[in-house]
Amino acid sequence: MDEFAVVINAGSSSLKFSVFRRQESRPWHLEARGQIEGIGTRPQFSAKNEAGESIADRELGDSVKDGRSALDYVAGWLRERHGGARVRGVGHRIVHGGAKYAGPTIVTPQVLDDLRKLIPLAPLHQPYNLAAIDAVSERLPDVPQVACFDTSFHRGQPAVAELVPLPADIRSGGVQRYGFHGLSYEYIASVLPSVAPEIAGGRVIVAHLGSGASMCAIKNGKSVDSTLGFTALDGLCMGTRPGAVDPGVILHLFQGLGLSAKDVESILYKKSGLLGISGISNDMRVLLASGEPAARLAVDYFVYQAAKEVGALAAVLGGVDALVFTAGIGENSPEIRKRICAASAWLGIELDEAANAQRGPRISSATSRVSAWVIPTNEELMIARHTGTLLGLIAARA
Ligand code: ADP
C-alpha cells in the first residue's frame, strides 16, 4: 500500500500543508501542496499537484471559521483523494522551541507541555501550531508527529549574539535572543552547495523578506546571528510589526498613554510596520503600486532598515561574500531587491539588472565583489526532510 507523510504549517490566518507519497520501494515525492488562506475572514482553499498545476481553488464560506475547522476541511479533502491511505508521520512547523529544543523532536506529552509554556513568547503563532498537533492526535492517535522549530537553526550562536543585556535573574527565566525563520534559513543553507557552491562555505547574509521579515548571518552554513531576537518583533520592518524600536517607546505606550498589555500587543503585532507607516496596507505590492506619500515612506523605511541590518550583519561576519534574497518579497520584488542592493553598494554589491528582473538565481554582475542571489525558500520541504529522517522514513542526510 502507498504510504504518506504530511507537513502542516498552521498560522493564525492560514493553514499550509504538503503531502508526500511513497509507492512501494520507491523514493518519497511531493504529491500535493496547498493552503487555506483568510481563515477568520474570507477562507480560500487552493492546492497544486507535484507539477505545480492547480488541482483545487475555491472559496470556503462560513464552514471554515477557525484553525480547527480549517484542519477538518483539509483532512476531509485528503480523505476524499487518498481514502484509506497509510499515514506514516506528520511534521509540524513550530515557531518557538525555546532554549531546550535545538533540533526537531518527536512529539510527546512532555514536549507539548514544554511548548505550551512558550505561548506567551509567540502569541501570534505558537497556539495555532500546537492546536494543529492536538487536532492530528485526536484524528490519528497512532501516527507519530514531529515538531520542527523556527528557533533551532540559531542555537549554537556565540553567547554575545544570544544575550539580552538585562539582570541575571530575568535572563535565567529564558529571556535571551532566540532568532526565528530558522527552517527557511536551514533550507537555504542546505541548497547553497548545489545552487551557489562558491559561497556555501563563506560569509552569507540571507534576507527572508515576507510578511514577517528577518535576516540571518551565516558562516560556513551555520547561523551566527539574526535580526529577530527574544520574539518575532525585532529587527527589520515587517508587514504589521515595527521591527526594532527604542524600548522607551513601549514604556511610553504603557506609562504615557496608559494602554493595556493587550492593546500594546495588538499595536506591536498587528498594526505597525508597513501597515502602521502607510495607513494603507501591509502588502508590499499595494504599497509599491501606490502614489501616496505615506506608502512611499513605508517602502523607504523598509529598504532603509534592511540596508542598515545588512551593514550590521556584515560587521558581525567580519565582511560578507554574498547576499541572498528569499520569501514573498525577496523572491518576487525586483524593485525591493534593487533598492536594497543599491543601498548596500558600499559593500561591493553590483546588481545585474537583467538577472534581477529574471529572478537570478545570481543577480549580481560578473565583476561584483559581493554576489547577490534569489533563492526560493521551502520550509515545508525542510520539515519533511526532518520528519522523514527522525521517523526513519528516509536515510539520514550527511
Ligand atoms: P509569510 O509566509 O510570512 O506569510 P510570504 O513569504 O508568503 O509571507 O510573503 C508575503 C508577502 O510577500 C506579501 O505580504 C507581499 O507583501 C509580498 N509579495 C508577494 N509577491 C510580491 C511581489 N510581486 N512584489 C512585492 N511583494 C510581494
In this prediction, residues 16-27 reach a mean pLDDT of 86
- Summarised one tens digit per residue, pLDDT across range 149-175 is 999 999 999 999 999 999 999 999 899
In this prediction, residues 17-25 reach a mean pLDDT of 87
Confidence of residue 84 (pLDDT cuts 50, 70, 90): confident
Res 66: pLDDT: 86
**Cα-flanking dihedrals φ and ψ of residue 116, to 5°?**
-65, -35
Contact call for residues 237 and 302 (beta carbons, < 8 A): yes
- Kindly state if the Cβ of 211 falls inside 6 Å of ligand 1: yes
In this prediction, residues 176-190 reach a mean pLDDT of 97
How buried is residue 256: exposed, middle or buried, by Cβ count under 10 Å (0-12/13-18/19+)?
A: exposed
Q: Which of 2, 72, 150, 283 is catalytic?
A: 150
Res 395: pLDDT: 58
Would you call 57 a catalytic residue per the annotation? no
DSSP notation for 309-340:
HHHHHHHHHTS-SEEEEEHHHHHH-HHHHHHH
Higher-scoring residue by pLDDT: 398, 22 = 22
- Kindly state if the Cβ of 34 falls inside 6 Å of ligand 1: no
3-10 vs 86-94, strand pairing mode: parallel
Res 68: pLDDT: 86
Give the atom of ligand 1 at the shortest distance from the alpha carbon of 208: 6
